[in-house]
A and B are shown apart, each in its own frame.
Chain A
Amino acid sequence: MRQLKLKTSQKIGAGLLLLLLAFALLEALLHGTAPYLQRLDQAFALPSLQEPLGTDQFGRSMLARMGAALRLSLILSLICVLTSATLGILLGVVAGWWQGWADRLLSFILNMLLALPGLVLILLFAGLAPGSLLMLYLAISLVLWVEYFRVVRAITRTQIQSSAMQASHMLGFGRWYCFRRHIWPALVSPVFTLAAFGAANAILALAALGFVSVGVRPPTAELGLMMVELFPYYSDAPWVLAQPVLAVFLLVLSLNLLAGGKRS
């Protein structure tokens, strides 16, 4: 990551993401209220000094709920991206380098996964064990690794045929060196882009599952679930419904901005 030169749009994306991250972290550290604490007499209280973001239909602090929901989305997307990227890079390099039966087997699995729309697959997994966060994590990672695999495999194939790698090989360098000097540097940039898109997709998938009520269960604060819970009250308290919508929008926007553009 030595030559990390970001374009302006990428800088805006990174800044936006950092702001959301800071909000999620600072809320956990400074704001003492629990996200599930109900105070029915305070339902749909307008934003005030005590409750800067107002309260929801059960009088729960929206500030606390937004903080918790953002933490959930960010952490889940982070571990999904880490898992799928590691898996995809590992298998992609193996398939691209060894070729032969390993490549054929992995490509076969890949084509099976690609035949199903990603969200359908996630729904299927989520349906197996409703409300299980672990299952969601597995399902999203399973869908996301495919992209890394395809890109990494293609890049590895071109790299192992390059004169530079042939030269290193003839000079007696081993596979690990060839990976570190020739394959990895070529992978960093596309993998970074994929990771940013992958995180955005993971956040959208989690929210979509919450929205169709197969994701996490109430009273967990989750952006999609909050949207569907608050949806009936859109005319009474539009500012409350707007918060999770805006949060998803900003998360996805920041990650897409970050992904965009080539790094030199």
Chain B
Amino acid sequence: MTGSQPIIPLLQVENLCVFSRPQAKNQAPELLLEPLSFSLYPGERLTILGETGAGKSLLMQAIMGTLPKPLYHQGRIRIAGQDLDALPQTEREQLWGRRIALLPQEPWHALDPLMPSQEQVSEVYQCVKGRKPDSADHQATQDLLAVGLQGAEHKRPDQLSGGMAQRLAFCAATAAGASLILADEPTKGLDTSCREALVQLLCKKSTQGTLLTITHDVAVARQLGGRILVMKSGRLLDDGRIKQVLDDSACQYTRQLIEAEPARWPPYPLPNIQQATPILEAQELSKQRGNKRLFEHLSLQIRRGEILGLTGDSGCGKSTLGDILLGLLPADSGRVYRRGGFAPQRYLKLYQDPPASFAPQVKLAQLFDDLIRLHRLDAKRLPALLERLNLSTHLLQRHSHQVSGGELQRLALARVLLMEPVFLFADEPVSRLDPITARDVLQLLVEVATEYQCAVLLVSHDPALVHKICHTQRCLSLP
């Protein structure tokens, strides 16, 4: 920021830290976010990269002034030179939309579920900017056109795809003319193609103001460019220009994060399966959902030990296909043949959301015991299996919600492996996990599948990931 007259930063954060209020009187407050300082000038972009629990969202809530009650912050936050803590709450809220806009994580929760798209944006012009309904509607239509939402003006959020809903939320959030945009995991749950469109939109908007993005996705950070902060467990680990940090960082954690990107994975040495016997065959499958045709005349064959990657945009029927192959859903036409005469309990599934696949009310040990007793399995195999998956046996004494996502997904894998499966449908098994954990879990999955000669149908929205670890790839696209 050179120039003869000093430019005031749009956002200035000075020694900001977040504490949790102690529960009891004699306890010390817990430090959740360690002191952090940065300034953002007009036209700058800052990306905060880190895994879940890194304190990224706390920072954003502190800037917005929406920290939950048991938490409080210290340090100074200035917006265009104005100290936010000096303002009363009502005046602070006046800044929302006008000076700071928050692009929420899940647009579905932020949009009115019953209101047509155009009205959601028009309402901002009318209520915040005080425009007449006619001119507000006109402006809203222009805005929607600018983000490629023409034709969706009169649709409700539930009729929009994830990417469209996020663009609509973007329009509504920025309509009041805020120059400082905070985006909290804006690409979560979006397909690769939607993700790129949204990132471009954010870049375009930020040329007029300032953009602060939180993400765990290195690819998004790379596309956004600008400055980057790498955080872990409430601590700032790395800080610098994006190119310099991502290409040549001295920080070990940053390097780990970058290497966890599927595109950077070393090619996995997959064994040859050309001679293996087929385990599952599908012929001429067709499926319709509502009026939408998902796939037609789809045939596939999967051999023992084969890893078959299935990609495609969300809603294209990837999970449906897997469920049909497992016999959980009927196909409209076509047939699925199971070869080799294996017991039905050896055709299994790994779920996207690890906690959802365990009964929450009992300890995990109980669930494993139930399974071992039902099939009279050898209980001694379990400790060895857990060790193979780098899991401690102590975890079994907990309930499913007391275990981290990565551990729980590996426990789900252990439960499946107890049955010595011959076919496993892994439905986006790592999409809810942090990149480093995701890579570890997925590598383990491929390794043990090879050991057990288990065929895996791996669904993912990331073609790069599938490319690295699968024998064969199929891409589903809507006809």
Q: Which A residues are within 8 Å of any B CB, using their own CB?
A: 3, 162-164, 166-168, 170-173, 177, 181-182, 185
Give the contacting residue for A170; candidates B345, B353, B361, B362; CB below 8 A: B345
Shortest CB distance A156–B (Å) = 15
Contact A164 B358 (CB under 8 A): yes
CA distance A260 to B353 in the complex (A): 32
In the docked arrangement, what's the CA distance between A170 and B374, Å?
13
* Interface check B349, CB cutoff 8 A: yes
User: Which of these, A3, A170, A172, A181, contacts B359 with CB under 8 Å?
Assistant: A181
Distance of A148 Cα from B360 Cα, bound (Å)? 23
Q: Label chain A's interface by main secondary structure.
A: helix
B344–A171 CB distance below 8 A: no
The answer for the CA separation of A181 and B367 in the assembled complex, in Å, is 9
Which residue, A162, A177, A181, A185, has most C-beta atoms of chain B within 10 A?
A181
Task: Choose among A163, A173, A182, A185 the residue that contacts B353 (Cβ–Cβ < 8 A).
Answer: A163
> In this complex, which of A164, A167, A181 has the most chain B Cβ atoms within 10 angstroms of its Cβ?
A167
- Check B356 against A170 for contact (C-beta < 8 Å): no
B-to-A contact residues, CB < 8 Å: 326, 328, 343-345, 347-349, 351, 353, 356-362, 367, 370-371, 374-375, 412, 415, 419
Given contacts A172-B344, A172-B345, A181-B362, contact A167 B370 (CB under 8 A): no
Report yes or no: B349 in contact with A181, Cβ–Cβ below 8 A: no
| B351:A172 contact, CB within 8 angstroms | no
Q: Are B357 and A185 in contact (CB under 8 A)?
A: no
Please, which residues of chain B bring their CB within 8 A of the CB of A171? 345, 348, 371, 374, 415, 419
CB distance from B343 to the nearest CB of A (A): 8
Point out the residues of chain A lying under 8 angstroms from B419, CB to CB.
171-172
**A177: B residues at CB distance < 8 A:** 370, 374
Q: A172-B374, A173-B370 are in contact. Are A185 and B359 (CB under 8 A)?
A: yes
* A170 with B326, Cβ < 8 A, contacts A163-B351, A163-B353, A177-B370 known: yes
Residues of B within 8 A of A166 (CB): 328, 349
Report the minimal beta-carbon distance from B21 to chain A, rounded to whole angstroms.
21
Q: Which residue of A lies closest to B353 (CB)?
A: A163
Q: A170 to B419: give the CA distance in the assembly, Å.
A: 11
A167 to B425, CA, bound (A): 12
Chain B residue with the shortest CB-CB distance to A169: B328
Contact B357 A164 (CB under 8 A): yes
Verify B356–A163 contact, CB threshold 8 A. yes
Contact in complex: B345, A167 (CB < 8 Å)? no
Shortest A54–chain B CB gap in Å is: 51
The smallest C-beta distance from B45 to any residue of chain A, in angstroms, reads 39
The CA of A206 and the CA of B141, in the complex, are separated in Å by 63
Q: Closest A-chain residue to B425, C-beta based?
A: A170
Closest chain A residue to B352 by CB distance? A163
Whether the Cβ atoms of A170 and B358 lie closer than 8 Å is: no
Give chain A residues whose Cβ lies under 8 Å from the Cβ of B345. 170-172
Given A163-B356, A185-B361 in contact, is the A170-B347 Cβ separation under 8 Å?
yes
A162 to chain B: which residues have CB within 8 Å?
A: 356
Bound complex: CA A185 to CA B367 (Å): 14
Q: How far is the CB of B297 from chain A (nearest CB, A)?
A: 27
Contact check, B359 vs A173: say whether CB atoms are below 8 A apart: no
Given contacts A162-B356, A172-B375, A177-B370, 15 further A-B contacts (CB under 8 A): A163-B351, A163-B357, A164-B356, A164-B359, A166-B349, A167-B357, A167-B358, A170-B326, A170-B328, A170-B345, A171-B348, A171-B419, A172-B345, A172-B419, A177-B374
**Cβ contact within 8 Å between B344 and A167:** no
The answer on a CB contact under 8 Å between B359 and A182 is yes
Cα-based distance from A113 to B351 in the complex (angstroms):
41
User: How many Å from the CB of B453 to the closest CB on chain A?
Assistant: 19
Docked CA distance A188–B353 (Å): 25
Docked Cα-Cα span, A162 to B361, in Å, equals 14
Measured between C-beta atoms, what is the minimum distance from B376 to chain A in Å? 11
